[in-house]
Chains A and B, each alone.
Chain A
């Protein structure tokens, strides 16, 4: 039996909120504000693991749906109906342990990436995951949605850095996997299972990460091109010659939004000690020519921040393709929209600023088939609310893999209460 997802009346929502106050205490439930309102009917703000356990048990007993919110950006964009409870971990934002000598950090899931990195910065370290707006990205959301950004090329993604996880799942049980050390193969890898599971298996309450040293110097080479082919060729040559920190190709729209002319632009980050920097700069000039801008210091940092925080059109159709790296240029072009391509990683965000009524599904299908032909897949990141119902946000894996996924969901969430209905294949 699927828990009810029908929209509740205001008095019904108030009653749900009161139930939570009775269960967990005053001030634990509130009305959702935007963008939460698109994702849930009541926001619950627990203060402890025990309160989340109570909440999950109630949801299983009363067949009420529940989803971890983060700052509700992702969830509000992928849900077509609202869950009863959105769990905000705004009151669970403790850094449990930061050991600079061991280069590990453990935090409650409500801590934002920005907070973590300000702490690490004191020791010239960082958690090198760079989704948009780190101050609005909680640890829980970063794990749940597997958010990543440009530095995935050199530092990997959440799955490469997450060394321990704790989540509240079926029965209100707290399960932990991994630990607090950088190398660890004891037991099954629950970190991988939770990363990118979009809250469908339980509520992540804490996470442990490896952190990395901040490079001594970071520089950014920027070069505009009149053609996309030239931009991608230059990026490919750089990727062959050097180990770039990140390597983006932007189409004219985002390029202009970042203050460059309406052209294709390559943004190549590189880092190291002085000798390494000089060596790389010389190579980059060989490839990009002397007209490339070489940004250093604060200027490079702020340009990187703009690249990282770049937003996609609010009312457009936005998707992420992940294909074989050598196929990325062709796919980005064939999407015939705007894009930010992570060259070398084979991942790009592609979008149309506007999408005509009724054409979203057709576009997604076209993009998806193209990504599949290039050995990959496509995930829709954002679509106008009116068109969401017609679109499958997550690509389907092979039949065999999907039946394992169904079993995984049924095993970890037999009551089907955790963020149901919006993940791959409707899980």
Chain B
């Protein structure tokens, strides 16, 4: 389908006035020029601006807003910082967007119990910043952590490099305050480890904004490890690097993180940040061990030895915290650096069993050739979570199409190897069409039933995750507009 049909507005003046009465005049945005910013998140292939944006400051306001929408049966989409990479915050049939960015208060720090309570609009990195001087940290650390919000992390069940050892968001959320789509506020879980009854917190985390809006969360804090050793190892090709990954983990220790960057990414990062990555390497691994200082040297030298055995041409240890920070800066900003190589890029998020990394990377290379598009790889190698970055130019509609198809082929290859469509970015709008490849109709039926427990009217972030039977193409196509 080439054009989006003219939409009939579902948000009239009375609604704008009613919402303004709840959140204040400055909390409602209705001017199309201002709404343009909200037409997509980090998944830029599809765009669709909301009719209205609401910026509540607290739970009561969120509840008031959702009640007003409930009375009119108007669907809505929640948005944190809009850094999501699967179109989770893309409005598809949701005229109203509720943005949590003003709900950015840390409510309570309880170090005796290693808990922190935050509003959902708090930026991920600010959680760790609030407790670092006391020797604690919040483990999930997505690359966008300087911008992304805890609410967004909860919606997507976000990960990050250090989740290899410490787990993803769901392992660190103990309690939630959730505003249901009808405006009712419910408390789920709490500060204790065990829950009463069904694990609804576990059901909400990763539900991609389709069960309501999380307004507050109780998170688990961890003790900062006493010390770290960060190794940069260079390899002639990705094959030897990925084999090293499996061998290090098979040696019986889970490192804090193992990240891989291939030639294309190394080049982009080097040009952008000059961190001294070996420009002639086919791939580099960043391997980090953390724990007691006492045992780390032994662990690091064992890993260096494994890397050498699998073909590393060079391995070096970060000599200072500054050097370590530079390596991680390079890794976390790799996506930004790629922006220098092409006008646009699409990041994917498939998962394969770790031992299949060599095969999937060969497959990605073949797909890159087949579609004539450069694809870079920078990813969480330790848990088999790949992030192929497909470079394209959105001014050429045909390239956009090839980029979409190449991405699909990669995900299908992941599934064929026993993997998953997504390790941490979510299904969103992007991969909804692929869900039936991974799950049976009965699986999807059970998932849809779970969603309706919270949202019987399916008004929270509609048209996401689960394609309607036989209608996935119709759902996705009108919004898959090709920007010009």
Contacts and interface: CB of A to CB of B under 8 A. Distances in A.
B471 interface: no
A223 to B, nearest CB: 21
B192 A323 contact: yes
A324 B115 CA distance: 9
Question: Which of A102, A346, A379 has the largest number of chain B CB atoms within 10 A?
Answer: A102
A278 B294 contact: yes
Contacts of A374: 192
Contacts of A195: 199, 202
A324 B218 CA distance: 12
B171 A405 contact: no
A377 B188 CA distance: 13
Interface string B198-235: 11111101110000000000000001000000000000
Interface string A386-411: 00000000111110111011011001
B427 interface: yes
A238 to B, nearest CB: 12
Contact of A185 (B352, B423, B435, B451): B423
Interface stretch (B68-76, B119-127, B162-170, B269-277): B162-170
A196 B192 contact: no
B294 A276 contact: yes
A215 B425 CA distance: 32
Contact of A100 (B206, B250, B426): B250
A187 B187 contact: no
A183 B386 CA distance: 11
A186 B427 contact: yes
A289 interface: no
B250 A188 contact: no
A345 interface: yes
B465 to A, nearest CB: 7
Contacts of A397: 187-188, 195-197
A132 interface: no
B353 interface: yes
A272 B205 CA distance: 33
A377 B187 CA distance: 14
Size class of B's contact patch? 35 or more
A272 B170 contact: no
B186 A400 contact: yes
A159 B198 CA distance: 12
A407 B453 contact: yes
Given A184-B423, A377-B194, A411 B452 contact: yes
A408 B465 contact: no
A279 interface: yes
Interface stretch (A8-16, A173-181, A353-361): A173-181
A424 interface: yes
Interface string B142-178: 0000000000000011010001000110110000000
Contact of B420 (A103, A181, A327, A427): A181
Interface residues of A, number: 84
B449 interface: yes
B154 to A, nearest CB: 12
B12 to A, nearest CB: 31
A187 B203 contact: no
Best-buried of B201, B223, B450 by chain A (most CB within 10 Å): B450
A190 interface: yes
A192 B192 contact: no
Given A159-B199, A188-B451, A173 B445 contact: yes
Contact of B206 (A103, A189, A423): A189
A25 interface: no
A347 B423 contact: no
Interface in A206-227: 212-216
A424 B446 contact: no
Contact of A400 (B185, B421, B447, B453): B185
A57 to B, nearest CB: 14
A345 B184 CA distance: 31
B447 A190 contact: yes
Interface string A136-170: 00000000001000001000110110000000010
Given A175-B442, A279-B292, A183 B163 contact: yes
A395 B196 contact: yes
Contact of B442 (A156, A174, A405, A424): A174
B113 interface: yes
A325 B195 CA distance: 14
Contacts of A23: none
B197 A124 contact: no
A213 B254 contact: yes
B86 to A, nearest CB: 9
Contacts of A124: 252
A231 B190 CA distance: 27
Contacts of A103: 249, 354
A234 to B, nearest CB: 16
Contacts of B163: 183
Contact of A188 (B198, B203, B252): B203
B355 A347 contact: no
Interface string B227-252: 00000000000000000001001101
A101 interface: yes
Contacts of B450: 188, 190, 193, 408, 411
Contact of B380 (A104, A183, A424): A183
Given A195-B202, A379-B194, A102 B422 contact: no
B291 interface: yes
B198 A196 contact: yes
Nearest to A160: B171
A204 B381 CA distance: 31
25 contacts: A102-B355, A152-B193, A156-B167, A173-B445, A173-B446, A175-B442, A185-B423, A185-B424, A186-B420, A186-B431, A187-B435, A188-B447, A188-B451, A192-B170, A193-B450, A272-B295, A273-B298, A279-B295, A324-B113, A324-B115, A325-B112, A395-B196, A397-B187, A404-B186, A412-B449
Given A174-B440, A377-B194, A405-B198, 12 more contacts: A100-B250, A102-B384, A173-B442, A175-B443, A179-B419, A187-B465, A374-B192, A376-B192, A397-B188, A398-B186, A404-B454, A405-B200
Interface of B: 110, 112-115, 156-157, 159, 163, 167-168, 170-171, 180, 184-188, 190-203, 205-207, 223, 246, 249-250, 252-254, 291-295, 297-299, 351-355, 380, 383-385, 418-427, 431, 435, 438-440, 442-447, 449-454, 465-466
